[in-house]
Amino acid sequence: MTLPTSTLGVVEIFATLQGEGTHTGRAAVFIRLAGCNLRCHFCDTDFALRSLLSSEQILARVQALDPSGQAIIVLTGGEPLAQTTSLRLIDALRAEGRSVHIESNGTIPVDLPDDVWLTVSPKLRLHPRMAARANEIKCIVDKRVPFEWRDQVSQRPIWLQPEKNAPENIELAMVAILREPGEFRLSLQTHKLIGIA
């Protein structure tokens, strides 16, 4: 996808609660950016381009959704770091005092400011720089626990997140967590449990 250099391809921007991982339950504004550099066969995320917005337009949407300035701002995708202009957006959000979180597949090496929270959810491959930079690692359990990533990351515990909160995936995660409590912790998609986006 080739975009004008000053704009970002956006899927949606919405206010909700962070449903997963360390920051579960916090007020959040999600900015879902369009496009991804991977093509995972199991992907069910809609990251199709809906609109082209400048950083200023996105900041205005964020301000309207969270006038308090206290919500975390979660850049997700697709792969939010696949668009080079996302780094400008991150700087603009930080300049307004916003707390920026990124949900990435960890394949695109970029330098991120120390105060940006990085969640890496490994998929087909993982860049060592992003593996080392991640504040948390979230592995999707979908019919199997992807133990192969544990040797590539040092963060502990690793979040195990059962795909679609499916009982068989929850059970697989539970078995792994009970067997190695220091290694793994459960991350349920709590937003789905309570029926929000």
Q: Which is nearer to ligand SF4, 80 or 98 (CB)?
A: 80
- The backbone torsions φ and ψ at residue 134, rounded to the nearest 5 degrees and listed phi first, read -60, 140
Q: Which is nearer to ligand SF4, 40 or 132 (CB)?
A: 40
Among residues 9 and 59, whose Cβ is nearest to ligand SF4? 9
Residue 141's nearest CA partner among 183, 170, 112, 117 is 170
Query: Site residues (CB under 6 A) for ligand SF4?
Result: 36, 38-40, 43, 45, 47, 77-79, 105, 123
Show the tokens assigned to 45.
Answer: 């995320």
CB 151 within 8 A of CB 160: no
Shortest reach from residue 89's CB to ligand SF4, in Å: 18
Least distance from ligand SF4 to the Cβ atom of residue 67, Å: 30
- Gap between the Cα atoms of 27 and 44, Å rounded: 25
CA atoms within 13 A on the CB side of 2: 0
Whichever of 54 and 189 has its CB closer to ligand SF4, that residue is 189
Residue 81 CB, nearest approach to ligand SF4 (Å): 11
